[in-house]
Structure 1
Amino acid sequence: MDKLFGKKPTVKEQLKENDRALRKVNRDVDRDRRELEREEKKLEADIKKAAKDGNKQVATVLAKQLINIRKQKTRTYTANSRIQAAGSTAKAMGANVKLTEAMGATAKTMGQMNKVMNPQAVAQTMRDFEVANTKMAMTEEMMNDTLDDILNESGDEEESDAIVSQVLDEIGIEISGKMSNAPSAHKGSLAAKPISDKNADADAEIERMLAQLKS
């Protein structure tokens, strides 16, 4: 059908056709060699009979025919080896053709990818991504700083202490036991006087100054 319509066979089909033809030729050669072997045996028997009968002339003619038969049989072995070599060569050529087709398809695909992938566009996309990523990181940092400022200014000291205590508890530190041993300000002459004592001293100083003026 392909031959009728002039369709070119594929590499696989051509390899199958070549292999089929070579196997047929090989079988024909084997058949010819078997016929030669039968003729060889017949000639050997005829030569023995002529020699036994003392007919040297016939034995010589038959011996020459035997030599030719054996030469022809040797040629069949050579033909078989060449046919096998031709088959191997055809298979190797077919493999090379398939490899070439695969490389051609790969080159075509790579060419299409090169057309689609614009190096300048890819580089610009990467730069845009880097800029956007940097802006996002800066925005997140500014938002975190703003939230920290707002939360610190709202300043619920008790809530802050509770959070600190919770964190310390989670890491296994008992703040109550540790803080009870913390040093405190010393009491004594260096301690500040109560406000009532300061007022009493001021009144006494004023009365003393008035008494001096009266005298």
Structure 2
Amino acid sequence: MFKKKTPEQQMKEQDRELKRTNRGLDRDRAKLERDEKKIEMEIKKAAKQGNKQACAVLAKQLVNLRKQKTRMYAASSQITSIGVQAKTMNANMKMANAMGSTTKTMTAMNKQMDPQKMAQTMKQFEMENSKMEMSEEMMNDALDEAFNESGDEEEQDSIINQVLDEIGIDMAGKLANAAGPSRHDPTANQITDDELERQLKALSVPSH
């Protein structure tokens, strides 16, 4: 099955063909230049011999040859120009293809990155984040309130008294039996460390 050539392959083949044509023109022009010199020599020879008719014929040939050589220069220049234009067109095609691919990529990205949708998403995120922060603050306030109720101190005192009762220390009795507390003595209503240690030793079971 015939396989279609890519633009790059077509460009390479065209470039090779143009170069081959130019080389052929160069060979033909070189041959014309050799013929030109030959005719010039024959004209000089005929002039020395005084043969005006031969000189006229040879001069006409020389003029035609020079015209042909000029046309070959023009053709070679035109072929070179065509080659340059072809390369320029190929470069432009590559740039156009690259721009087309870039445009497709940007179009796909723009479809995925819908500005309105993204703005809506960000707005919704901010709303939900604010709700979460408010909920967290409310939960913290509720927990603080739950752990700092007015009965906490009474409950703590009750637990302390229960522990002291378990180890045989009657805090209330000690305070009631305290003799004449000094108004200026801040430690008058307090159990000293020595007395607390003595009561703890009294609770110890003697060893046998």
TM-score bracket, shorter-length normalisation: 0.5 to 0.7
* 1:44 and 2:44 correspond: no
Residue deviations 1:115-158 (CA, integer Å, cap 9, x gap): 4445554343222211122234334545666787769x999xxx
Shift of 1:108: 2.6
Q: Please provide the CA RMSD for this pair.
A: 3.0
Structure 2: segments with no counterpart, 5+ residues: 154-181, 185-208
Aligned residue pair count: 153
Cα distance in 2 for partners of 1:24, 1:7 equals 25
In the alignment, does 2:121 pair up with 1:130?
no
State which drifts further: 47-56 or 89-98: 89-98
Deviations 1:60-96 (A, max 9, x none): 1111101111111111111111111111111121122
Higher relative contact order (CA 8 A, sep 6+): 1
TM-score, normalised relative to structure 2: 0.62
Counterpart amino acid of residue 24 in structure 2 = D
Q: Is the 1:11–1:97 Cα contact (8 Å) retained in structure 2? A: no
Which residue, out of 43, 67, 71, partners 1:71? 67
Partners in 1 of 2:124 and 2:85 — Cα distance?
57
Cα drift, residue 100 of structure 1: 2.2
8 Å contact kept, 1:51–1:59:
yes
Give the residue type in structure 1 aligned to 2:9: E
1:19 match:
15
Work out the CA distance in 1 between the residues paired with 2:51 and 2:136.
120
**Whole-angstrom distance in 1 between the partners of 2:94 and 2:142:** 67
Identify the residue that residue 86 of structure 1 maps to in structure 2.
82
What letter matches 2:50 in structure 1? G
Greater helix percent: which structure?
Answer: 1
Q: Which runs of 5+ in 1 are unaligned?
A: 156-193, 197-215
Candidates 4, 8, 24, aligned match of 1:8: 4
Q: Is the 8 A contact 1:50 1:59 kept in 2?
A: yes
* SS in structure 1 of the partner of residue 133 of structure 2: helix
In structure 2, the CA distance between the partners of 1:133 and 1:65, relative to structure 1 (3 Å rule), is: same
Distance 2:13 2:99 in 1: 25
Percent identity over the alignment is: 57
Aligned twin of 1:59: 55
Cα distance, 1:45–1:147 mapped onto 2, change above 3 Å: farther
- Aligned partner of 2:27 among 16, 31, 56: 31
Q: 1:107 aligns with which of 103, 106, 110?
A: 103
Given that 1:19 and 1:87 are in contact with CA atoms closer than 8 Å, whether structure 2 keeps it comes out as yes
